Amino acid sequence: MDLIPSFSVDHTKIVPGIFLSRADSVEGGTVTTYDVRLMRPNREPAIDVAAMHSLEHIIATYMRNDPMWKDELIYWGPMGCLTGFYIILKGARTPKEIYPLILAAFRSVEGAEVVPGATAENCGHYLMHNLNMAKYYAARFVEYLEAHKDEATTFEYPKTERLVTGEGKHFYDS
């Protein structure tokens, strides 16, 4: 089987940032998936599950109510490894072009007084939320994005280098 594109990213070198994961042509245009990475994979602890859940609710609510972006947003949700989120948008933009959206969304967490939709009727695990920790992770990410906004590593994936045989086949050592 072919290695899927998200596994070709060198997770030992990735840092927090906003990355283009994939762009897919669909009827009527392009749909683009971005990797919004808050933590350094395999070097920092994963985000607390309850905080991740709260960030998902708060930021999804913010984005789905933002007049400029609400009609472009297809999906906002956590990565299984709990080091960041995926956002899927209509259209084809660079990570730098969605930087203002991501920055504003994470800034919005600071002012949250409750987690939207955290009721038994609205959420599949409504007791699993942690607003205070969500605020911590959001503030940390905002600070990082602002400090590194001019660095290529904030917007460009590090790629895994693979040995290539004389026949052009890629060598995988695992």
What digits encode the pLDDT tens for the residues 133-149?
A: 999 999 999 999 999 99
Packing angle between helix 95-108 and helix 131-147, nearest 10 degrees? 140
Q: Extract long-range pairs of 76-81: CB within 8 Å, 24+ residues apart.
A: 78/47, 78/52, 78/53, 79/35, 81/41, 81/46
Residue type, 55: L
Sign of CA dihedral 32, 86, 70, 26: positive
Distance CA 81, CA 72 (A): 26
Query: What's the pLDDT at 1?
Result: 73
Residue 164 has pLDDT above 70, yes or no: no
Confidence of residue 5 (pLDDT cuts 50, 70, 90): low
The reply to whether the predicted model has a pTM over 0.75 is yes
